[in-house]
Structure 1
């Protein structure tokens, strides 16, 4: 994890959720002056306990900040927070750098950049991968789009150990949703394979071990099946609704490019159906329960 010395810009961190809170804490540990904001008082209190400063609003957090980071559920919320109703950037430092680390719609990212440019500010998109555990230990993979990557790098290196310049503005958000599509498709395949094998009379744990020693292994079989699915814990820390949202963005991107991607469309449909069937706030590993119920329905 990078450690700062000398004069560094103050950082506003808006969105202290499951991922954002440990990321902001790592910025503090790296020596940045960070002012955090979240609508959750408990999240703000936890950040303050880690040595961070907190604000009563997004605008207050960003006042005078040279770097403003957003880690929010959707690009619509990002835009509303920064340049919309809340107008968090109204009092940010001249020429401030905005780093959107949310999983956002690429087209919305480009629209936001235009609004920031009119204010003399710049934007990079820098979504992350690795989950809560890697957010905590500062080893996230961060995919970055835009022209100010080097300006953002010192801040990003405090939160991740693999920084990938992905290309032009919006590229980070594109790669992020494509990554989650591949992950989600693998999770569906793993769930279906386990259920077919189980109903044939096999031990799902044994199936998992064989997959992980063979070419069928993927992130779900290696890191999620036994820990979160077969255990019944379903508490990986990433909501199913967010996964469904990201795959929907990927499907929309393909459609906007005039591409017919059958598996992508089917995967998006399957995850949307799971979101509709399961309770609000369901963990994404509960896709296993959804597939199991659907396989035996009717």
Structure 2
């Protein structure tokens, strides 16, 4: 790959994965990217996202649907926003006799993995793409659906500096806080660890809230105490009075995805040789909650799971 090619701006972009996060991210990219001359091909196996995109101002001009991955042969960069590493691996490396992006992309192309992938898998995919003359950068996001809609996500970015610099104008259309994390897979590792720390805080806050409710304490006042004291964390500030106490449980991030991210963080123990007993406990509880609740359960429903768990223990 020549230095001249590396310096060329990205104009043709592929976007794979139009779920709860991916669709609003693509909508912002298409809206703001029009002024930058971006031409976007979007791919998903579901039809529903495209029914919504048909009303987008860029639809049919600078935003179109790709029928197969083969159509990405001419793109300069491809964004993947997929649920897990298994699906991402299949899309990038190919699976079941079907070709992946590695078989399709032109030399010099960039793959931007914006999902919450396993760092070990990310390193393997980066090496695979490098052999084909392409580059992988990892750019997971934080901020959930609300910030995906407003284009104000925090985006962690790991990978070679030249590729990250080329990707920056794309990422800036979806997030307003870009944090360079270092080498490839570093962003995925930091995202997984961040989500573990958040989940641990939410779990602790939910347990404390449950105990407070059994003591017949004023839960709103207790939340005020937490937020004015050393127990304050993002869960106490943005989840208790907003979603848990009123019982709406609609913060916008799936509990099963939270459980998946914690499981990813737990794999880093093997990679690093560090034992993290609290991480293992957190993983076990969130995995149990994910199995017990509905697939669409919000992550704030960890409180409801703890509540049901304790009620079952009392009944037995």
What TM-score results when the alignment is normalised by the length of structure 2?
0.88
Once the two structures are superposed, what CA deviation does each residue of 1:26-76 show, in whole Å capped at 9, x if it has no partner? Answer: 111122221111222111222232224342535055231111000000111
CA contact (8 A) 2:266 2:279 kept: yes
Give the stretch that moved more between structures: 141-150 or 176-185.
Answer: 141-150
Give the stretch that moved more between structures: 47-56 or 113-122.
Answer: 47-56
Confirm or deny that 1:283 pairs with 2:274: no
Deviation at 1:225, TM superposition (A): 1.6
Q: Counterpart of 1:108 in 2: which secondary structure?
A: helix
Measured at CA, do residues 123 and 7 of structure 1 come closer, stay the same or move farther in structure 2, by a change above 3 Å? Answer: closer
Q: Could you say which residue in structure 2 is the equivalent of 1:65?
A: 75
Structure 2: distance between partners of 1:68 and 1:192: 42
Structure 2: distance between partners of 1:196 and 1:7: 56
Deviation at 1:169, TM superposition (A): 0.7
Structure 1: distance between partners of 2:265 and 2:124: 18
Structure 2: distance between partners of 1:178 and 1:116: 26
Deviation at 1:93, TM superposition (A): 3.5
Structure 1: distance between partners of 2:270 and 2:221: 39
Give the counterpart of 1:35 among 34, 41, 46: 41
Structure 1 unpaired stretches of 5+: 1-5
Q: Counterpart of 2:244 in 1: which secondary structure?
A: helix
Structure 2 unpaired stretches of 5+: 1-7
CA contact (8 A) 1:100 1:124 kept: yes
Q: Could you say which residue in structure 2 is the equivalent of 1:210?
A: 225
Q: Could you say which residue in structure 2 is the equivalent of 1:260?
A: 275
Measured at CA, do residues 58 and 267 of structure 1 come closer, stay the same or move farther in structure 2, by a change above 3 Å? Answer: farther
Give the counterpart of 2:106 among 81, 93, 98: 93
Cα RMSD of the aligned pairs, angstroms, is 1.7
Q: Counterpart of 1:161 in 2: which secondary structure?
A: strand
Structure 1: distance between partners of 2:260 and 2:176: 26
Confirm or deny that 1:128 pairs with 2:141: yes
Q: Could you say which residue in structure 2 is the equivalent of 1:75?
A: 85
Q: Could you say which residue in structure 2 is the equivalent of 1:221?
A: 236
CA contact (8 A) 2:42 2:66 kept: no
CA contact (8 A) 1:13 1:61 kept: no
What TM-score results when the alignment is normalised by the length of structure 1?
0.93
CA contact (8 A) 1:36 1:47 kept: no
Once the two structures are superposed, what CA deviation does each residue of 1:151-195 show, in whole Å capped at 9, x if it has no partner? Answer: 211111111111111011100000000010000000001101111
Structure 2: distance between partners of 1:246 and 1:127: 11
Structure 2: distance between partners of 1:64 and 1:226: 49
Q: Could you say which residue in structure 2 is the equivalent of 1:146?
A: 159
Structure 2: distance between partners of 1:169 and 1:162: 19
Q: Could you say which residue in structure 2 is the equivalent of 1:21?
A: 23
Q: Counterpart of 1:270 in 2: which secondary structure?
A: helix
Structure 1: distance between partners of 2:112 and 2:276: 31
CA contact (8 A) 2:140 2:188 kept: yes
Higher-Rg member (1/2): 2
Structure 2: distance between partners of 1:178 and 1:7: 32
